[in-house]
Chains A and B, each alone.
Chain A
Amino acid sequence: MNALVLARSRLAPSRRAGPQRLPLPGTARGAAFGQVVRNEARLARRSPMPVIGSIGLPVVLMIIFGEIPSSGAVVAALGGLTLFSVYLPIIMVLGLTMLTLLGLPGPLVSYRELGILRRLSTTPVPPSWLLAAQVVIQFGVAVAGLLIVNVVSVIAFGAASPKSPAGLVLSLLATIAGMFALGLLIAALAPTSGSVNAISRLALIPLMFFAGLWLPRPLMPQILQDISNFTPLGAAVQAIQASMQTGFPPARPLLVLVAYAAVFGFAARRFFRWE
């Protein structure tokens, strides 16, 4: 038996080449990450509901608001803005919120449930790559959705182009950062795919309330406005609104968003379970 084992081991690929097969060089790592992203993109395309919802719902809402006869009229109670221009930032953050609450954590939690993250951690590629790939794809969807909303609002509904395009881009990036960090935190904490939905529904209502979905911020009592200023979507709407109407946004809402990105991101990192 031992002779047999030895005879067989002589057939082995040369050990003299050594077991020290190095990890992938940089370019191959890039190609491997590309493969991961490509498969995640295929999955997003084959189960398109979160993407369709997060892009479609804002467009539908915008059409509804655009068709309200009085939506173009300036309203003094809204700080001299039209109903449409008050709701445009809210519609933008609604799309982002749908995406980060459903599109981002859903796949990650199901990968953990299926043992895919665990399986990946036995390969040279860390499971965090799946997380990164999801962020890349959802970021692409977020940008596409925002582009559609902004272009349609200008072309179809004659919305004025933003006073500060750079401020708008910065505000939206800060919003994406804060909301993605929240999505990752939900992915970290939700034990099952079912609980992702429950947590997301629960989080959606206060987030969107303070964004002004049911009561636009200018109409909120002072106390609610003060609270709204320090919620992720309240700060987001404030920064976006300022970029659209007045110019470069004030520092505070941007800092609030960055702080949320940092805190949620850190907590997600701290609590994320890979199995």
Chain B
Amino acid sequence: MELPAVQITHLRKTYGPLVAVDDVSLSVAEGEIFGILGPNGAGKTTTVECAIGLRHADSGTVSLMGLDPRTDRDKVREIVGVQLQTGAQPNKLRVGEILEEYRSFYRQPADVGELMDVLGLAAKRGDYYKTLSGGQRQRLSVALALVGQPKIAVLDEMTTGLDPQARRDTWELIEGIRDRGVTIVLVTHFMEEAERLCDRVALIDNGRVVALDTPAALAERARGGKTVRFLPSAPFDDHLLTNLPEVTGLEHVGQHVVVTGQGELVNAVILALHAVGVTARDVQLDSSNLEDAFVKLTGTHLHTEGVAA
């Protein structure tokens, strides 16, 4: 059994009467992109801040690669790279100067030039921080999280405020980093980001984990399954499909057939039809998404500023 990269057990953190994190347990496998998703004030940021040792939890335990962020602070800081939700740099330092400073803090740092190339900051190397756009500042912040070549990168609202193109570039970057073996914990309230990037997602609401699964499985749970709609090339016996284990329901809508079910529904339906010489045309897969799952599980909508942007 491999040691998880991040293990949080029964974490609880209060600020006076306010319960920021009620009871959060989760485990992130090494090499995973793990999403922490929830509405504002759900306790996402407090959870990760406790996890990286920036705040002290009231109770519960945290282990990062087997290290306790409170007692093994020095070692933890070597292997964890952090991008905080709020974080600026001095206006009159240049991009390259900031990166070189942070680079010197680590034992096995990344190459600054390469990092700036990857993040599209190379042309900004000699520019003052104050002249950077919001997206450039965000990318510098990600660069600072990665300059120590961390084993775990914690990115809090990494793409908030970025335009759609910059957001997609950043997603590709994150996938590239994960492919180098870095475990990534991504705090986000941006659905598309979680669906696109995350291997698994924890939905947090009111300081508790309300669901934890792959984005696809969560979405499926939200609607009780998927729906396939198609136009059969020839009539067929409904039992051909309703007998399939993946299928839970079937109805005829005009000339179309609508099948609901779970799992590899489309493949199962098309193979079964093919076996009797029927082809499905005009196939439409209607699957619910993580947003639906979120609404169903928490009763709240996420802020979807990212979608509008």
Contact = CB atoms under 8 A, between A and B. Distances in A.
Interface string B163-205: 0000000000000001111100000000000000001100000
A8 B179 contact: yes
B84 A119 contact: yes
Interface string B53-91: 010000000001111000000110111101010111110
Contacts of A8: 31-32, 178-179, 181
B52 A19 contact: no
A12 B31 contact: yes
A20 B66 CA distance: 10
Contact of A122 (B29, B84, B89, B100): B84
A5 B31 contact: yes
A4 B67 contact: no
B19 to A, nearest CB: 21
A46 interface: yes
29 contacts: A1-B200, A5-B29, A5-B199, A8-B178, A9-B2, A9-B29, A12-B31, A13-B151, A13-B181, A19-B75, A19-B79, A21-B108, A23-B75, A28-B104, A28-B107, A31-B104, A35-B100, A42-B92, A43-B92, A115-B87, A119-B84, A122-B80, A122-B82, A123-B77, A123-B105, A123-B106, A124-B77, A124-B107, A125-B105
A123 B181 contact: no
Given A9-B30, A11-B181, A116 B88 contact: yes
Given A19-B66, A115-B87, A24 B75 contact: no
Interface string A206-241: 000000000000000000000000000000000000
Nearest to A11: B181
Given A11-B31, A28-B107, A116-B88, A39 B101 contact: yes
Interface of B: 2, 29-32, 52, 54, 64-67, 74-75, 77-80, 82, 84, 86-90, 92-93, 97-98, 100-102, 104-108, 144, 148, 151, 178-182, 199-200, 214
Nearest to B214: A1
User: Lowest 3 CB-CB distances: which A-B pairs, in order?
Assistant: A12-B181, A9-B31, A19-B65
B264 to A, nearest CB: 13
Nearest to A8: B31
A43 B128 CA distance: 11
Nearest to A1: B214
B75 A20 contact: yes
Given A8-B178, A20-B75, A35-B100, A115 B84 contact: yes
A121 interface: yes
A111 interface: yes
